[in-house]
Amino acid sequence: MINCIIIEDQPPAQRVLKKYITDIGYLELKATFADALLAINFLKKEPIDLIFLDIHLPKISGIEFLKVLNNKPNVILTTAFSDYALESYEYDVVDYLLKPFSFERFVQAVSKVPSKIKKGISPQISIEENKFPDMIFIKSGYEHIKIEVADIRFIQSDADYTEIITSARKYVSQEPLRYWEEYLDSKKFVRIHKSYILNISKIQKIIGNQVQFEGNINLPIGRAYKEGFMKLVLK
């Protein structure tokens, strides 16, 4: 879904936009504002992908609003006047809809919203494929050190930081264990203890409540994690 808001003072025009937003199916309307000042506060709190912005508004115009907006979301201008079309290029808007506009024209405008955001809309496939990284970068002083995810044996939590252990060496990361648990593919990396996540493919054997890695490294399996872990390994 693309999160959007409407900034439009005239109720009939608001209703047309609301109807189109509902009809298109992949836009989620978070709020509607009759003037842009009210929207500014909202935008500070809520991340929004797309704004439908009228130009002739009470208090400050849509163009003035664009000028003061930092971290601009995608903007589609909607106005009954073509006078601002040229100027609107300066503000990098997605499209310029001249009221009244048809549903087809609306769809055309929305489809121009950069695909970075649109990813959420349709292809689950691509999400499945790309969701988990093949490599991670660990900050060390001024450097970011690359680690191949496949090389990781396990990740160990240690008070305020975590240690990432590969076959070759140990890396220290500022991220908590919980972060890595969510960040890495849960089919490959599994929690076996409140302090350990391990890479299943690196296990040598399981002995009772211990997991053994190459080089005689043993990790304990926590009681709470044993059942889930065994299921995953022996499936």
Question: Would you tell me which residues interact with other proteins (CB under 8 A)?
Answer: 9-13, 15-16, 19, 34-35, 38, 55-61, 63-64, 80, 99-100
The residue among 11 and 25 lying less far from other proteins, judged by its C-beta, is 11
The residues, ordered by sequence, that sit 6+ positions from 216 with a Cβ below 8 Å of its Cβ are none
Pairwise CA distance, residues 91 & 63, whole Å? 8
The residue among 28 and 35 lying less far from other proteins, judged by its C-beta, is 35
The residue among 55 and 136 lying less far from other proteins, judged by its C-beta, is 55
Distance of closest approach, residue 21 Cβ to other proteins, in angstroms? 13
DSSP structure string for 9-33: S-HHHHHHHHHHHHHHSSEEEEEEE
The residue among 34 and 177 lying less far from other proteins, judged by its C-beta, is 34
Distance of closest approach, residue 109 Cβ to other proteins, in angstroms? 16
- Helices 11-24 & 103-110, crossing angle to 10 degrees? 70
Pairwise CA distance, residues 31 & 159, whole Å? 42
The residue among 27 and 136 lying less far from other proteins, judged by its C-beta, is 27
Residue of 106, 190, 180 lying closest to 147 (CA atoms): 180
Distance of closest approach, residue 40 Cβ to other proteins, in angstroms? 14
Distance of closest approach, residue 129 Cβ to other proteins, in angstroms? 40
Distance of closest approach, residue 101 Cβ to other proteins, in angstroms? 8
> Could you give the C-alpha distances from 128 to 108, 131, 181, 185, 196, in angstroms and in order?
28, 6, 17, 10, 25
The residues, ordered by sequence, that sit 6+ positions from 38 with a Cβ below 8 Å of its Cβ are none
Distance of closest approach, residue 80 Cβ to other proteins, in angstroms? 5
* Angular region, 52: left φ>0, alpha ψ -120 to 50, beta rest: beta
C-alpha dihedral over 183, 187, 193, 196, to 10 degrees? -50
The residue among 61 and 212 lying less far from other proteins, judged by its C-beta, is 61
Pairwise CA distance, residues 4 & 51, whole Å? 5
Pairwise CA distance, residues 73 & 108, whole Å? 18
Distance of closest approach, residue 11 Cβ to other proteins, in angstroms? 4
The residue among 23 and 92 lying less far from other proteins, judged by its C-beta, is 23
